[in-house]
Structure 1
Amino acid sequence: MSDRLDDPDRLTSLVRTGLGAAADPMFDRFASIVQRTLGVPVALVSLVDDARQVFPGAYGLAEPWQQQRQTPLSHSFCRHVVTSGEPLVITDARVDPRVAGNLAITDLGVVGYAGMPLTDGNGRTLGSLCAIDASPRQWTAAELALLADLAAACSESLRLRIASRAALSREEIARGEQKAANLAFSRSQLLLRASVALADANTLADVIGTVRTLVTGTLDPDYVGVSLLDTDRQVNLQSGGSLPDRVADRWRRYPQTARTPSALAAHTGRPILLPDPAAVAEQVPDAAATFTEMGWQSGASVPLPGPRGPIGALTFVWKERYPLDAAEQAVLAALAGYVGQALQRADYLFSREQVATLLQQAMLSDLPDATPFELAARYSPAARGEHVGGDWYDAVRFEDGHLALVVGDVTGHDMLAAARMGQLRSMLRAFIVDRLEPPSALLRRLDAAMQVLGDPTPTTALLAYVQPDETGYRLQWANAGHPSPVLLEADGTVSPLVGRDMLLGVRRRLPRTNYSRTLPPGSTVLFYTDGLIETRTDTLDDRKRQLHGVLTGLAGAPLPDLLDEVLSRLVGDSHEDDVAMLALRNPA
C-alpha cells in the first residue's frame, strides 16, 4: 500500500523499530547478502521518515555516507518506494524521468537501482531493501525475485523488532503472540541462511546436504528429497543416499506420470500438501506403500523452478501429522526457489568443467616417438573448477630424426586463455613443419601473426631444436620471455639455460636471438611454465634454488618419475597457477 511520508502511523511504526542512523548487525548482513548474491557494488536497508532516510544496513557506500548512515530526502530514491508502496526498478537513473535530477546520482553515484518495499505488520511501507549499481543495469526477473524474497525476510525482521520492543513494555503479551514472533524470526533466519549457504553450493551433493542442514531445527522433517526431471521427462531421485537401499532403488528413476509427491509437484508446477495419511492415500497412491513402510505420516512437495518450467521437486516428509500453515508454505516455496537456482548453477558449473576438461585434453598433444631420446610431459591445472588454462607443451619429430620442443603460457586462467593457446599452438606447429628456419625466426613469425590477426595477448613461449652435431647432440633455442629451462647432467650438476628476449604480443618486429648448447651424454633438459616456481610467498630465486635442489638427486630417475617428484615437492596437490612441464633426456 502507498503511504505519505508524514503519515503519523507510519512514523510511529518507524520509531518502534528502534533503528536509526547507526549500523545494525542483522541489517548489515541483509545488505551484504544482497551485494554478494546480485553482484552489485552497493546495497542498502533504507528507512525513510518525513525528513531523511537512514541506513541501519549498508554495504559499499563511499565515505562520508557509510559513516553517517543517512542522507536528506533530496538524495533518496527509496522515498518513491514508500509513497507508491511498489518496487522501484531503474535501469539508468540519469535518463529516468522519475528520478532524473536526484542528487544521489551525482553525490552517491546511483545509476542502476532496484528497491523492494519493507513493510510493518499493518502493511505500511517503512523503507526499501535496494541494490545499487554505478552503471546502467538491466535487472533480470530472477534477480528481482531474489531481491523480493530477501525484502520479505527483512520485513519479517523489522516486524519482529517492533513486536519485541513492544513486548519489553508490555509484560502481559500473550504466549501465543510470542510464539508466533519466534516462528516468524526462525523462518526469516531460515531464508537468510538459505540464501547464503546455497549461494556457495557448487555441486548437486552440496545442494542436497545444505538443504538438509538448513531445515534441521526449524521444520525438522524425517527426510528431505530432491528429484530432478531428465530429458525424457523421467523423475530421477538425487537424494537416495539417506534412504534404505531397497527404497532408494525403487524410486531411482520412474515416469513423471506416477502419482508420487515429487512427480505430481514437478508435473503440475504447484505445491502438493499431504497433512495426514488420508491425504497421502488420496493424492499420491503410488507412494502410499513407501509412506507406510517408512512410518511417514505426512509430507509436502514443492516444484523447483527453472527457466522453462519446473526442473524437479523438493520433498519433505514427517513421522507425525504436519499441516503446514500459510507462512510455512511460503517458506518452502522461497526455499525451493533458492534450491532451483543453486541446482541450475551447479549443473552449469559441471557442464563447464566437462567442456574445459575435453578442451584441455584435445589441446595437449600426445608426445611422438623420440628415439633415441626419452620424452615425458606433465600438465597440472590450478585448483579451480574449470581445470583449464593457457599453459601448453608440444613436441614435433622430423623425418631426419631431429626434434622441435615447445613450451608456452598465454596470459589468463580460463577457457578463453585455453582457446587462445590452442590458436597459437596450431600456428606455431604449422610454422615448424612448413618453415625450416631457426627458432628465433619462427617466434618472430608467430609474433607478427598475433599482431596482424588483432589478438596480441601477452604470451611467453620457448621453441627449441635438438639436432645432431659432430660431438653428439646440440640444443638450439629462442626464448620469448619464458622461464629458462634447466640442464641436469648425469652427475647431478644443474645449470639454467639462460638467454631470452621480450615476450610475444608486446611490440611488432622485435629482434629475437638464437642460443645453443651441446648436450652432455645422459643429460636431461627440463622445460616448464612459471606456475612451477611462482608463489605469493616465496621469491623467484628461492624457488629456483628449490627446483635445482630437487633435480640434483633425480639425475638417474626415469623421466616420468622425475616429473612426478618435481611436481609433488614443489607445488603439491593445490597450487595457484597452471603448470606444464616437458623433459628431454639425451642418450648416454
Structure 2
Amino acid sequence: MAARRTGLTASPDPAFDRFASMVRNVLKVPVALVSLVEADRQVFPGALGLADPWQQQRQTPLSHSFCRHVVDSAQPLVIEDARTDPRVTGNLAITDLNVVGYAGMPLTDETGRVLGSLCAIDTVPRQWTAAELALLADLAAACSDSLQLRITTTSARQHQDRADAQAARSRLLLRASTALAATSTADDVVDAVRQLVTGTLDPAYVGVSVLDRSGRVNLRSGLQLPSRVAERWNRYTRGAATPSALATRTGVPVLLPDMAAVHALTPDAAETFLEMGWQSGASVPLPGPDGPVGALTFVWKQQYRLDDAEQTVLAALAGYVAQALQRADYLFSRENAAAVLQKAMLSDLPDAPPFELAARYEPAARGDHVGGDWYDAVQLEPRHLALVIGDVTGHDMRAAAQMGRLRSKLRLLLVDRNESPSGLLRRLDTATRVLGDPITATATLALLSPEPGGADGYRLHWSNAGHPSPVVASGGAASTLTGHDPLLGAGPRISRHSHTRHLPPGATLLFYTDGLLEVRSHTLEEFDARQRDLHDRLAGADGVPLDDLLERLYEEFAGDDHEDDVALLAVRLPPGPGGA
C-alpha cells in the first residue's frame, strides 16, 4: 500500500528510467533498476538492460526479487556472487534474469519506510568498491526524494479528485431535487434520472420498479427496453431472484459488480443480462413510510463496482425518486393532487449553519388549496445563502404549475451563475420569455454572505421584482428593505437593480407574500396599520424560535380564513462573539 501511494506501477516512468540510466553509466553495470515491492510482486518504474520479456513487462513475482530483502531488512544488500550467497540461494532471478552481482540501496518514503531499492546488477561476480556503493547510496537518496515528491503530488491530486467528485455528487443531488420536483409521471421520473446520471455513472439502462397493492413488482421503465424484455418483467412476484425484487424484499442495496455476482445473487436475471450484453448492475430500494416501495436499478455493459460515495449518492437519489413516484401516483387522484403538488413544489429548507431558517406555506382557505406562492433557500457554499420569496398570480393548479417552472429555472440559475440578484432575475425573465413560457409574478431574491475582511455580521444583496418588501429586525427595532423594480414578465429590457445592506449579528430577516397582510375589504390606511403592527411584532421577537415566530405571525395576521395564499420565510443570523 505504501508503494502504491507513489502512483507508480509496472510501466515505464521517464524520471525513474533516468535514475536507472545514471546508475548504469556511473557504475558501468549492464542492468540497473528502480524496484518497488508490493504484496505479491516487484515492479520496475525505472529499468535499463533487462532481457525481454522482463524489460517490457516491468515486473516479476517475489520469487525473482532480491529487492524484497532490502525492504525486509531496511538495509543495503550487497552481493558479490548470488550463486554462492546463502541469502539468495535458490532465487529464480539468478537463472531467469542472470543476476549474479547485486548492490541495492533502500528507497524510502517521507516516514522512512522502505519501499524498494535502487539496484545495480552485474551478470558476472562483482566486488563492489566502497566508492561505488557510496555513489549508489547518493543516487538512492536522490531517488527517494523523487519518490517522496511523487507521493505528495499523487496525494494532492487524489485529494483534489475526491473534492471534485464530492462537488460533482453535490451538484447531482441538487439537480435531482430540482429535476424530479418537476416530474408528474413515472416516465418523467425515469427520463429525469437517466439525464441526471449521464456523464457521471453512465449506466446502459436505468430501471424503476414499484410494488403494487398485491405485493408484486411492476416495471415502470419498460419503454427503455425491447418489448420482449419489458413484457418478461412487466409484473412478477416479489420473491423472484432479480436485482429489483431482492432490493425491495431485503431493503438493502444489491451490488452486482460482475456476472459472477449476477449468477450468485440474482440468477433469475442472468439470462436478461446476457441477452442485453450487461456485465454489472446495482439496485437500491426506494424508501417508503412502511418499508421499500420499489427499487431503482442501474446496469452497465462493463464490470462496474460502486464505491462507498457512489452508493451514498444512489441512496439519496432513490429517496428523491421515491418521492417523485409517489407524487406522480397521487396526481392521478384529483382529490389528492392539489396538496401533493404544492408540497412537492416547496423545497425542504437546507441545514445551513450558522443560520437558523424557518418557512411556512398555507394555501388560500377557498379554491383549489394550491397556488403560486413559494419560498426557497439554497446554500451556495458555507455561510453563503440564497433566499427567495415569490408569488405567481392566482391560487389554483395552473398558478402552482407556473410557480414550479419559475422556481426550477431560478434554482438552476442560482447554482450555475455567480451574479448579482438583479442579474439573476433579469436572466430568469429572459429565459421565461425566450422559452415561450409567459409567467407574471412578483419575487424577491436575496444573497446573504459574510462581511468582507472578517467584520461582524453579514452582507445582504437583494433585488425586488414588485414583491412586498422584506423586513429586518435587530436590537428591538424593525425596518423595511426598500427598493422595487417591475414584476417578472412585465416586458423585455426591464431595468433591475440590486441593493446592499449590512445585517448585524443576531438580526432576523422576514420574507412574506401579500396574503399575510392584504385583505380586499381593507383601505390603504388599514393596510399601513397592519404593516406597522408587523414591524412591532418582529421588533419584539428577539430570541423567539423562528418556527414559533412564524406561527404567531400567521395566526395573528392571516388566520384560518385568509383570502390568498401565504408564504413566509425567515432567517436569523448567528449572534456575535458576545451573544447568547
Into which bin does the TM-score normalised by the smaller protein fall? 0.3 to 0.5
Which has more radius of gyration?
2
* TM-score normalised by the chain length of structure 2: 0.40
* TM-score normalised by the chain length of structure 1: 0.40
